[in-house]
A and B are shown apart, each in its own frame.
Chain A
Amino acid sequence: MELTLWTYEGPPHVGAMRIAASMEGVHYVLHAPQGDTYADLLFTMIERRDRRPPVTYTTFQARDLGGDTAELVKRSIAEAVERFQPQALLVGESCTAELIQDQPGALAQGMGYGDLPIVNLELPAYSKKENWGAGETFYQLVRGLLKGQIPAPGSPRPDPGRWRSEGRRPRLNLLGPSLLGFRCRDDVTEVTRLLASVGVDVAVVAPLGATPADLLRLPEADANVCLYPEVADATCSWLDRQFGMACLRTVPIGIGATVAFLNEVVELLGLDPARLPQPDRSRLPWYSRSVDSTYLTGKRVFIFADATHAIAAARIASQELGFEVVGLGSYSREQARAVRAAAAELGLEALISDDYLAVEAAMAAAAPELVLGTQMERHSAKRLGVPCAVISSPLHVQDVPARYAPQMGWEGANVIFDSWVHPLMMGLEEHLIGMFRHDFEFVDGHMSHRGETAASAPEAPVSGVWTADGEAELKKVPFFVRGKVRRNAETYANERGIGAITAEVMFDAKAHFSR
């Protein structure tokens, strides 16, 4: 038994819903009590979906438990198949139904639907979580649909360069994008463009937007791209083992990773390396080198996200933006090893936890100037007064923007530069504030260019330990950074047992806190 207040991931059947809702022509019959339908709103509210997820809940009640809940399951399956005419049916149970052991999957298999592929999902609700459920569901669905096509043991692995002899363009599958994943919709578009730029087509994108018929075409591609390991890792490994399909595992988030990804594509498919585009397709490298970005140097950044986005963010922050990564972690236990390795490269110990309070404590201890995290970290950072950019699920409605905002590829790097840097004060601005802080324009009440007197914000009275000259010096600090200067000086004085904060103490504190 563990106490949970807020949770990063839902139960595994919500992961299964993400697969079903991402696809077309799939229906999911979920043996579950009333109340579990709450999960619909994740899709209709956060993703603003224009239709309910394709899920039929059996909605059993206490009074059904004495009777025949299995009958209820069969009735629900029959109604769902009749009404929705799916091309593939997922059947599973939520946490409560798992306890009553009606085995809905087996019941469905026995209902005589003949050609309708039925996938029995057994997702242990008391030990696993949402992302695992999504990965397992995608794997079971692909396996269930493709098991008839598995080549005989000992068959040679197909050559990823066979497109040349077959007289066609090379093609790859993009596996892993799903609803409630971070910016998947736009990442698919961006990666498709990226591949087109080196003459590669996309065969199947799955699960997002795919039909069961599309999944049957997976082996026709020359290789797979594992875009989101949380969802696609098991499927890619299985396709590799059973169909000999090579898998590209570099996730193209950031300039370095995008370049590496394209290199792998070119090498694997035997393309002409001369076709490789230059990294200046993105503005990030120049923006990062430009003088205004000097102030980004060594900014302390705390990162906590799903494994894919955490690892990518750590690399971009340290190598492409010149930040100092002061904390790195993830709630993805399944991918913990990769996160630990990424942290070790930066001389850090990874925080692998799904306790958001432990994450907040680590965040506070690391004293970052910027937090890159999930919606949970956004709230924690707000409490700590630290700017934050959201880089990963769990999502809020604002993380599904109307505009094109991928994370992957060249444009993804542009988006990342803007969305990580904008929460910080602009470089030149920060500089000017330092230069002109003694000018009268920065004195309270002279902020508006229209010459009006701005109402000064109520400010807590300066605490008694300030001397007159200290207070006078403090007043010269622009009001919008004065609170921070005051806090720093008081902290500094407290830590050293200094009773009176003079102007000298304030400058000492300033020297101490500035790096």
Chain B
Amino acid sequence: MEVLKESGQREVFCGLTSIVWLHRRMPDAFFLVVGSRTCAHLIQSAAGVMIFAEPRFGTAILGERDLAGLADANAELDRLVTDLLARRPEIRTLFLVGSCPSEVIKLDLAKAAERLNERLVGRVRVVNYSGSGIETTFTQGEDQALTALVPLLPAGDQRQLLLVGTLADAVEDRFLTLFERLGVGPVLSLPPRRSTELPPVGPGTQALLCQPFLGSTARALQARGVTLLPAPYPLGVEGSRRWFETAAAAFGIDPAHTAAVLDPLVARGQAAVAPHRRQLEGKRLFLLPDSQMEPALARFLHRECGMELVEVGTPYLDRTLQQPELDLLPPGTALSEGQHLERQLERVRAARPDLVVCGMGLANPLEAEGIATKWSIELVFSPIHGCDQAGDLAELFARPLRRRASLAFA
């Protein structure tokens, strides 16, 4: 499959943004960005609301004194962490998150984590990773955070399934029920709900990725002897079915039993998608690069909702992890990797698609040009995984079209 590679201005969040959903997954963890006022402002703006009295994330804002002397910066960081942990005794894991400025001044957060770990041993574990925009795009922040956890996972030989990537708690519960019905187990998750309950891994572990953007985590797990189960991602009925089937097959479950468990779910999911398919069928879709979920979403919207794919953009195309999805896209799909914003917008305007999936910075401007949009940010904040959510997932894309059709001002 031909891929258009572009570089230039990108209209994509940096990896720090992943903190918005990671901190909700692990309520006993704190994410401390070591960065600038820009970092703090970014997370606050991306989160959109400021409703938490004291959120479990924050920014240690570097000042001029910290830039002048790194020794001071380290002492300052230790002081700030001590204060923070004194005020938040419930915190068990502290993520020190690197940013663009901390990377550029080469503030060694790995060493800082090591130093703090010695001091806090037995109370709080300190982990570090980089969510900087010079190295990571949006969802790659989660990939980096999970990669940093992999060396801390205890060794365990048991035969087990490991689900990798943050899911909404309700979706995870549903998946665990289904795996039990299938006879697949035990099933553990990375990240876990409690940051201290890290799943053991070893050669008996088979890993199933919940998200397509976890390439670095996948490789780190493989280095621990974990087997990766390649599958399409559990978005839409078809992706979810194949995802469960892959796990069931790896655990030697009788295909007839698997089908007996999944068939009713598939039928119900298809019924839920059907009304939205009527809205979406034949409509032309343009996905701007955002979360790396674009190939999976394109597959769902094309194969299950009947949409035509004008262009499928992704900030980064991990061939290994995306191959199961690419195999399901129609031949000749226009894929693009990276971004040159203005050129891509020219293609959007030329193609006049019926729906553009894009970030919040672009949505209103495109709407003002008469082009319907769907904000991509909802796709990482909403529970969209699994057969049971397929109808809701389709609805997210159908709603802007339905709304436009329902409005009249004359």
Interface residues of A (CB under 8 A from B): 1-7, 9-11, 13-14, 33-42, 44-45, 48-52, 56-62, 64-65, 76, 79, 83, 94-96, 99-100, 124-127, 129, 357, 360, 375-376, 379-380, 383, 396
Task: List B contacts of A7 (CB < 8 A).
Answer: 37, 40-41, 44
Docked-complex contact B361 and A1, CB < 8 angstroms: no
A3 → chain B closest CB, angstroms: 5
A36 → chain B closest CB, angstroms: 6
- Across the interface, A33 reaches (CB within 8 A) one of B61, B134, B368, namely B134
Docked-complex contact A44 and B365, CB < 8 angstroms: yes
The residue of chain A having its C-beta at the shortest distance from the C-beta of B36 within the complex is: A95
A52 with B361: in contact, given A6-B50, A34-B137, A126-B62 (CB under 8 Å)?
yes
The residue of chain A having its C-beta at the shortest distance from the C-beta of B104 within the complex is: A99
Docked-complex contact B44 and A2, CB < 8 angstroms: no
Determine whether B2 belongs to the interface, using a CB cutoff of 8 Å to chain A.
no
The residue of chain B having its C-beta at the shortest distance from the C-beta of A58 within the complex is: B9
Pick 11 A–B contacts, CB within 8 A, sort by A. Answer: A5-B40, A6-B44, A7-B37, A7-B41, A44-B360, A44-B363, A65-B104, A76-B9, A100-B104, A127-B63, A357-B54
Q: Mark B92-124, 1 if CB is under 8 A from A, else 0.
A: 000000001101110000000000000000000
Docked-complex contact B50 and A376, CB < 8 angstroms: yes
**Sample of 15 further A-B pairs with CB below 8 A, known A5-B40, A35-B13:** A4-B58, A4-B59, A5-B54, A9-B37, A34-B12, A34-B133, A34-B137, A36-B38, A38-B361, A40-B361, A45-B361, A49-B365, A95-B35, A100-B104, A126-B36
In the complex, A290 Cα to B368 Cα: how many Å? 46
Docked-complex contact A60 and B36, CB < 8 angstroms: no
In the complex, A510 Cα to B47 Cα: how many Å? 42
A5 with B42: in contact, given A35-B13, A65-B134 (CB under 8 Å)?
no
Determine whether B60 belongs to the interface, using a CB cutoff of 8 Å to chain A.
yes
In the complex, A40 Cα to B57 Cα: how many Å? 23
Determine whether B76 belongs to the interface, using a CB cutoff of 8 Å to chain A.
yes
A52 with B365: in contact, given A1-B61, A5-B55, A10-B41 (CB under 8 Å)?
yes
Docked-complex contact B10 and A41, CB < 8 angstroms: no
Task: List the count of A-B residue pairs having beta carbons below 8 Å apart.
Answer: 190
A118 → chain B closest CB, angstroms: 20
Docked-complex contact A59 and B9, CB < 8 angstroms: yes
Determine whether B8 belongs to the interface, using a CB cutoff of 8 Å to chain A.
yes
In the complex, A5 Cα to B64 Cα: how many Å? 19
In the complex, A95 Cα to B104 Cα: how many Å? 11
Stretch of B77-85, B197-205, B228-236, B328-336 lying at the A interface:
B77-85
A1 with B364: in contact, given A95-B36, A95-B37 (CB under 8 Å)?
no
Interface residues of B (CB under 8 A from A): 8-17, 32, 35-38, 40-42, 44-46, 48-51, 53-55, 57-64, 66-67, 73, 76-77, 79-80, 83-84, 100-101, 103-105, 132-135, 137, 342, 359-365, 367-368
Docked-complex contact A41 and B45, CB < 8 angstroms: yes
The residue of chain A having its C-beta at the shortest distance from the C-beta of B51 within the complex is: A379
In the complex, A99 Cα to B77 Cα: how many Å? 19
Task: List B contacts of A65 (CB < 8 A).
Answer: 104, 134
Task: List A contacts of B61 (CB < 8 A).
Answer: 1-4
The residue of chain B having its C-beta at the shortest distance from the C-beta of A48 within the complex is: B364
In the complex, A344 Cα to B398 Cα: how many Å? 57
- Across the interface, B41 reaches (CB within 8 A) one of A2, A11, A57, A96, namely A11
Docked-complex contact A35 and B59, CB < 8 angstroms: no
Docked-complex contact A45 and B360, CB < 8 angstroms: yes
The residue of chain A having its C-beta at the shortest distance from the C-beta of B138 within the complex is: A35
B159 → chain A closest CB, angstroms: 40
Docked-complex contact B64 and A126, CB < 8 angstroms: yes
Docked-complex contact B50 and A379, CB < 8 angstroms: yes
B106 → chain A closest CB, angstroms: 10
In the complex, A57 Cα to B361 Cα: how many Å? 13
In the complex, A257 Cα to B8 Cα: how many Å? 50
The residue of chain B having its C-beta at the shortest distance from the C-beta of A94 within the complex is: B38
Task: List B contacts of A1 (CB < 8 A).
Answer: 60-63, 66, 73, 76-77, 79-80
Docked-complex contact A61 and B135, CB < 8 angstroms: yes
A375 with B50: in contact, given A6-B44, A52-B361 (CB under 8 Å)?
yes
A10 with B38: in contact, given A34-B133, A35-B100, A37-B361 (CB under 8 Å)?
yes
Docked-complex contact A37 and B50, CB < 8 angstroms: no
In the complex, A396 Cα to B63 Cα: how many Å? 28
B83 → chain A closest CB, angstroms: 7
A35 with B362: in contact, given A3-B80, A125-B36 (CB under 8 Å)?
no
The residue of chain A having its C-beta at the shortest distance from the C-beta of B76 within the complex is: A1
Task: List B contacts of A124 (CB < 8 A).
Answer: 64
Most interface-central of A14, A61, A65 (chain B CB within 10 A): A61
B51 → chain A closest CB, angstroms: 6
A41 → chain B closest CB, angstroms: 4
A366 → chain B closest CB, angstroms: 18
A45 with B100: in contact, given A5-B55, A11-B41, A95-B36 (CB under 8 Å)?
no
In the complex, A25 Cα to B58 Cα: how many Å? 37
Task: List A contacts of B66 (CB < 8 A).
Answer: 1, 126
Task: List A contacts of B100 (CB < 8 A).
Answer: 33, 35, 95-96
Docked-complex contact A62 and B40, CB < 8 angstroms: no
In the complex, A383 Cα to B9 Cα: how many Å? 41
Task: List A contacts of B11 (CB < 8 A).
Answer: 37, 40
Docked-complex contact A96 and B101, CB < 8 angstroms: yes
Docked-complex contact B50 and A33, CB < 8 angstroms: no
Docked-complex contact A99 and B63, CB < 8 angstroms: no
6 shortest interchain CB distances as A-B pairs? A35-B14, A35-B133, A40-B361, A50-B368, A96-B100, A1-B76
In the complex, A291 Cα to B77 Cα: how many Å? 58
Task: List A contacts of B16 (CB < 8 A).
Answer: 35
In the complex, A376 Cα to B41 Cα: how many Å? 13
Task: List B contacts of A375 (CB < 8 A).
Answer: 50
In the complex, A99 Cα to B60 Cα: how many Å? 17
The residue of chain B having its C-beta at the shortest distance from the C-beta of A126 within the complex is: B64
Docked-complex contact B14 and A34, CB < 8 angstroms: yes
Docked-complex contact B37 and A125, CB < 8 angstroms: yes
In the complex, A421 Cα to B54 Cα: how many Å? 29
In the complex, A96 Cα to B359 Cα: how many Å? 23
B295 → chain A closest CB, angstroms: 20
Task: List A contacts of B51 (CB < 8 A).
Answer: 379
The residue of chain B having its C-beta at the shortest distance from the C-beta of A37 within the complex is: B11
B184 → chain A closest CB, angstroms: 39
Task: List B contacts of A379 (CB < 8 A).
Answer: 50-51
Docked-complex contact A38 and B45, CB < 8 angstroms: yes
In the complex, A9 Cα to B36 Cα: how many Å? 12
Docked-complex contact B37 and A129, CB < 8 angstroms: yes
Docked-complex contact B12 and A35, CB < 8 angstroms: yes
Task: List A contacts of B40 (CB < 8 A).
Answer: 4-7
Task: List B contacts of A37 (CB < 8 A).
Answer: 9-13, 361
Task: List B contacts of A58 (CB < 8 A).
Answer: 9
Most interface-central of B9, B48, B58, B62 (chain A CB within 10 A): B9
Docked-complex contact A39 and B45, CB < 8 angstroms: yes
Docked-complex contact A52 and B101, CB < 8 angstroms: no
A38 with B10: in contact, given A1-B63, A96-B101, A99-B104 (CB under 8 Å)?
no
Task: List A contacts of B10 (CB < 8 A).
Answer: 34, 37, 57, 59
- Across the interface, B67 reaches (CB within 8 A) one of A51, A64, A126, A396, namely A126
A11 with B104: in contact, given A3-B60, A62-B135 (CB under 8 Å)?
no
A5 with B58: in contact, given A41-B360, A50-B364, A52-B362 (CB under 8 Å)?
yes
